[in-house]
Amino acid sequence: MSDQRIRVACVGAGYFSQFHYGSWARIDGVDLVGSCNRDIEAAKRTGLPAYNDLAQMIDEVKPDLVDIILPPVVHAQMIRVALDKGVKSLICQKPFCQNKGEAQEMVALAKAHGAQIIVHENFRFQPWYRTLKAQLDNNSVGQLQQITFRLRPGDGQGPRAYLDRQPYFQEMERFLVHETAVHWVDTFRYLLGNPTAVYADLRQMNPVIAGEDAGYILFDHPHGVRALFDGNRHLDHAADNHRRTMGEALIEGTEGVIKLRGDGSLWRRGFQELHETCILDADHWEGFGGDCVHHLQSHVISGLLQQTPLENLAQDYLRVIDIEEAIYASADQGQKIRLEP
């Protein structure tokens, strides 16, 4: 890398990109050098050198890392351009590519170019899940038996659902799982290890969208642990910002329970006790999800500068795609699907 600083260029300037650009500007060791977007006026609004052609941007600003902040339909196209131009490090938004075949092709192509792709799956970097992981590693609840997450963002009702923020949500034929629940597929893997089986019951409640927006997914994890994702984008939870945690969680073991509240705080209650103890204070970050975008991007920069292991490399993330496909197969077949080791 160039003098122990990382030159970062971004492609994409839509709604969610604001969290990426804002984070890059706060990371030591990063020079944010360019923005590319099909609508060049949107790229210009970032205040960076603006382009509407990724190849041209790479030629002119010579980034060490390209951050792809675009929907899956153009992931492969952007990855090919960046790799052909010699970029060795890429971050790509999730869902990663349009399907498993395309994702596998991009992983193989990156390997052939001696490059690496990190999937921007940021929920595992939310502070409550990092704290929860440490609690589980220290057996804070004894023998863990089950985790339940109730997704309740309250943004899915009516004909204008999602239009003000991410309108392409309405057109996704696979929505709740492919776009949203996939966050918890990865988070449950982070907390519990890869699942061994899944069972799903999915449904579409809002007729103006193309895909499913509610449902239950039951995961079998190692050591007899079960995880339940209970998702309904129509309903809400107690929170000043419904996009902070997007719901509530309950982590239950033989010696206690940990609750995740909508304010990002974690509370532990011992087995057969009444008193709850706060083990993580409420989150007050005004941006997205406990500043998880920043935590992920900081993790990547630290890994590049210090040569430390990176989480969410694309070749590992293929497992998430396998699990997603099994979830949809289970919903179609009405039965539990066992996963290959």
Fold of 124-288+321-338: Dihydrodipicolinate Reductase; domain 2 (3.30.360)
**pLDDT-derived band of residue 4, with 50, 70 and 90 as boundaries?**
confident
Quick check: 145 and 224 in contact, CB under 8 A? yes
What does the pLDDT average to over 76-89?
A: 98
CA 261 from chain centre, in angstroms, equals 19
Bridge partners of 313? 118
Domain at 2-120: CATH code: 3.40.50.720
Q: Is the pLDDT of residue 72 over 60?
A: yes
Q: Quick check: 337 and 198 in contact, CB under 8 A? A: yes
Give yes or no on whether 2-120 and 124-288+321-338 have one common fold.
no
- d(C-alpha 339, C-alpha 228), whole Å: 17
Task: Please name which of 193, 186, 264, 262 lies closest in space to residue 229, comparing C-alpha atoms.
Answer: 186
Q: Is the pLDDT of residue 2 over 80?
A: no
**Average pLDDT in the 48-68 region?**
98
- Span 5-19, pLDDT tens digits: 999 999 999 999 999
The ranges assigned to domains in the chain are 2-120, 124-288+321-338
* Widest pairwise Cα distance in the chain: 64
pTM of the model: 0.94
% of the chain with per-residue pLDDT over 90:
95
Helix, strand, coil percent content, the chain, rounded in steps of 5? 35, 25, 40
